Chains A and B, each alone.
Chain A
Amino acid sequence: MTSNLKTFLAYLPLISASYAYGPDKQSPKFSLAVQTDLMAYTTKGGYSLWATARHNQNQLSLSFVNYPNRDNSFYKESGLKENDRFLRIGLSRYWGKKKMKNFFYGVNVEFHWRELLEDGSNEIIKDTYWQFAPIVGYDWFPLKNKENQLKNFSTMLWAGPRFHPNYYKQDRVFENTGSVYPIPDFINASFGINLSYTFLKK
């Protein structure tokens, strides 16, 4: 099977999911929010910026994440450094039932620009690659009963398995020194704790 076909098959669920999102005419609402994922700040120099648009039960999010040196255990051993930046597009849908209305499910697709820097060498390896993650999450408005702007703050917890469709080709070798950057696993955990502020509601 060619890698293109394999990548297409890997993204098939996402394509299917996109078509599954239809407007819910029962509760027409529209909102815009800005968010940041606190997990990005767990590494030095890390940050994330999110913008989300929600219409009825459907939500589209766009984010940019700078996440350097995530795998500390490996970097300590090898001396390699990683600067990983990625753009993430998320499609999610909130559950329709009243008791479950803060729960959502969806898919995140990430496009990564990664730089690997060898210890004690000028050699830099630049990579681009895709990942995707089906996710479930919970949107919590702890201050929703406040009468001031604090009611617009929420915390969004989400998690899911993240797939690396062409993972077996990501193994990289520094040709000057022979150091190897190990491939990520085919599936690893993807999760976030987003702090959100909704600035527009209609």
Chain B
Amino acid sequence: MKKNIIISVLSLVTFAFIGCEKIIEYSFYNSNLAGADYWSDEPKILSAGLGFTDIIGVDELTEANVKLVGGAWDTQVSCSDEASLHTSVKDNGVENFFKGTVFFDKTNKVAADALPVVFSWPILTETVDITDFQLTLNTGEVVKPTAAGTVPNWEYNERNTVVLFGDFGNRFKSNEAGARFPVKVEIISDDNPLQLIGKDNQIVSAVGLSWTTTKNPYDEGPKLVGAKLNWVGKKAIGEGAGGGIRSNTPYLPNDEFTLYGGSDFRLRMLTSGGFSPDGVTSIYPTMFEKFFKIHVKGVDGDTIKMDKVGIEYNVLGGKLKIIGLSDLGKKQDSYDDCYVDDKDNYIDVILVGDDAAARNITFLEIPSLAGGYSAFYNPGGPGRTPYPNVKYTAPGPADLEPVIMCLDNPMRVNYDAKRH
């Protein structure tokens, strides 16, 4: 009996010890890639501007805390799960999935700021760490992030973006007195330098890459930094990160096969920050007409602007039809405020039609408020019920992104870290 008790205790201690470790982190940092897009022939940083400030890492997700740090808490929801409609993230929501830590200073009413670094080549995620990044602020200060990670861009066919948390700035516009924000982000050398993989399966060090800006998100919100057109193919490649416990998210599966049973073409956009209609709520797969237009060459040499879903357009080379959006959240019969999307830097437009017609797609447009459309906000946005006297991030601008034609060369990379 004594022996049995010893065995049981040893087993419990062993699994408790293993269980205490951040096991889930490994799937995000295993460097695997499947069907991951690279967006240029040469590796570079496509954007690395400040995302938003103060709201990441509160100790409890209460309205009082969210209000304290100047977040948004939506009280006008039309569904039952009100708890999901806010902009802050709890401290362990970062620390379980990111390398490093965040902070919550109740006295000064601030938590951590966020800054997404978008690369044109996917990252070997084993090499991501807080020591890879150095930020120079407009004040001349040089700061380091306190946390870095792949979330929310962790799926195998994503992984172009590293999100940094730390003390990076405040909420003044760039031209206002007292403004504090990053103007330069550099990739610096550490014991395990950040690596990227891209064209011809080249693995390169990201050390030396940099990004400069004179703006911050209180001037202008998120925008497009890439758009590429690929064949959909026979099955979804690289969705999620392999199954297991990571498939149990409220927003997966969200690929074009799950939502639409497949199609012909996927126009994937890469964004400078998370996209949301207001900073809080999710984008529905049915929202193409609210935010986007696709430019295609017309038969007469003019430009056809495809702005309706389900309409067959006659364009140069044949016909094209927009089916809807994907890589957001799960398929549902109808969508409401409780719909959960993945809040990452990718959204797909799914189309069917003729090969020759698709090759004449030229631009993806976000008309935004200036064009009479809705605007995108990053997760520092106001929501629908902003608190008075709180500065939120600005709406995204009108944007016209050239489409990279990848019907012949898919510009994708696969990588199994266990075989290298």
Interface residues of A (CB under 8 A from B): 1, 6, 9-10, 12-13, 16-17, 20, 74, 77-79, 125, 134, 167-169, 171-186
Contact = CB atoms under 8 A, between A and B. Distances in A.
B409 interface: no
A179 B243 CA distance: 12
A22 B128 CA distance: 50
A168 B414 contact: no
A176 B416 CA distance: 11
Contacts of A20: 3-4, 6-7
Contact of A173 (B27, B34, B235, B243): B34
Nearest to A77: B235
B244 A180 contact: no
Contacts of B245: 185-186
Contacts of B7: 13, 16-17, 20
Contact-residue bracket for chain B: 35 or more
B260 interface: no
Interface in B20-76: 21, 23, 26-27, 30, 32-35
Interface centre among B7, B30, B235 (most CB of A within 10 A): B7
A49 B397 CA distance: 68
Contacts of B243: 74, 182-183
Q: Is the interface of A mostly helix, strand, loop or mixed?
A: mixed
Given A20-B4, A173-B415, A186-B244, 7 more contacts: A168-B23, A171-B32, A171-B244, A173-B33, A178-B238, A179-B237, A183-B244
Given A173-B415, A175-B415, A168 B26 contact: yes
B204 interface: no
B414 A172 contact: no
Given A176-B414, A180-B34, A171 B21 contact: no
Contacts of B265: none
A179 B412 CA distance: 13
Residue picked from A1, A125, A181, A183, most chain B C-beta under 10 Å = A183
Contacts, number: 94
A22 B32 CA distance: 46
Contacts of B34: 173-174, 178-180
B27 A168 contact: yes
Contacts of A9: 14, 17-18
A6 B26 contact: no
Nearest to B25: A168
Contact of A171 (B27, B157, B237, B412): B27
A171 B242 contact: yes
A171 B154 CA distance: 14
Nearest to B17: A9
Nearest 4 CB-CB pairs, A to B? A182-B243, A171-B242, A178-B35, A173-B416
Given A9-B14, A178-B237, A180-B238, A172 B35 contact: no
Nearest to B156: A180
Nearest to B257: A77
A168 B10 contact: no
B419 A175 contact: yes
A179 B241 CA distance: 11
Contacts of A182: 242-244, 247
A185 B23 CA distance: 12
Nearest to A12: B14
Given A6-B18, A184-B244, A177 B237 contact: yes
Contacts of A12: 10-11, 14
B11 A180 contact: no
Given A173-B414, A182-B243, A10 B6 contact: no
A169 B237 contact: no
B6 A174 contact: no
Contacts of B26: 168-169
Contacts of A179: 34, 235, 237
A100 B379 CA distance: 61
Contacts of A184: 244
Nearest to B27: A168
B418 A172 contact: yes
Contacts of B416: 125, 172-175
Contact of B412 (A169, A178, A181): A178
Given A171-B32, A171-B241, A175-B414, A78 B235 contact: yes
Contacts of A78: 235
A142 B235 CA distance: 51
B247 to A, nearest CB: 8
A13 B10 contact: yes
Nearest to B420: A175
A102 B23 CA distance: 39
B414 A177 contact: yes
B156 A173 contact: yes
A181 B242 contact: yes
Given A174-B414, A175-B415, A185 B244 contact: yes
